[in-house]
Structure 1
């Protein structure tokens, strides 16, 4: 089976997006989703000001308890009701929080998500970057 390539340069760009923007938390841990009241945010959730994600909204961020200045992972979600895919950043999340985020994003039949953990490999083709 082919493995996902985990390029250190990709994560460098993700960190630059994070560090060059202000993170605004608009859904604190324990708050209800604005549309689906039964969905409770497992960690703080917000967005990076002055950014644009795939849905023309700002890039979304799950912020865990740990202090961090880099992106530790991303989740990619596919939603058949909205007919979209989104990438959300995970910052300062420990392993337990990552599991809770995946459970949160995968609890409906209409949306499913995967987690991509940060790596530090540099592929051979990128050595000229």
Structure 2
């Protein structure tokens, strides 16, 4: 049943360029104490719930497949978003999840793609 959801994410990835605007090791533009542990950017020409483009975390695996998403709730921005994890190892997924759960003002859950999807 949820296989169609992942296929739609695959289609979005195939039809849009990933733009990395916050490379690994760079500080957050407003919260400079937060350092991005992996490349972070967006899918050009897409739309997300916050009015910006769909957020993407880019891992070290050569396969550019979305095999997990992160659902975040941010009380400062007063929004909920879905972020795509593309080419991420299990360690990278855990690092990204920790990054988003490091503040009392934001939390996230990780949803993994199953083998069947």
TM-score bracket for the superposition, by shorter chain length? over 0.9
CA distance in 1, matches of 2:66, 2:80: 19
- 1:116 is displaced (CA, Å) by 0.2
- 1:70 is displaced (CA, Å) by 1.8
Structure 1 residue ranges (4+ consecutive) displaced by more than 3 angstroms after TM superposition: none
Where 1:19 maps in the other structure, the secondary structure is helix
Partner of 2:39: 44
Picking from 11, 17, 21, the partner of 1:22 is 17
CA distance in 2, matches of 1:89, 1:108: 20
CA distance in 2, matches of 1:84, 1:113: 12
User: Which of structures 1 and 2 has the bigger CA Rg?
Assistant: 1
> Is residue 86 of structure 1 aligned with residue 81 of structure 2?
yes
TM-score normalised by structure 1 residue count: 0.87
User: Are 1:33 and 1:41, in contact at CA under 8 Å, matched by a contact in 2?
Assistant: yes
Alignment of 1:60-99 (within 5 A): 60-99=55-94
TM-score normalised by structure 2 residue count: 0.96
Comparing both structures, which one devotes a greater share of its residues to strand?
Answer: 2
- 1:69 is displaced (CA, Å) by 2.9
The alignment covers a number of residue pairs equal to 117
Q: Deviations over 1:85-107 (max 9, x none)?
A: 01000000001101110111010
Indicate the RMSD between aligned Cα atoms, in angstroms: 1.2
Unaligned runs of 5+ in 1: 1-5, 123-129
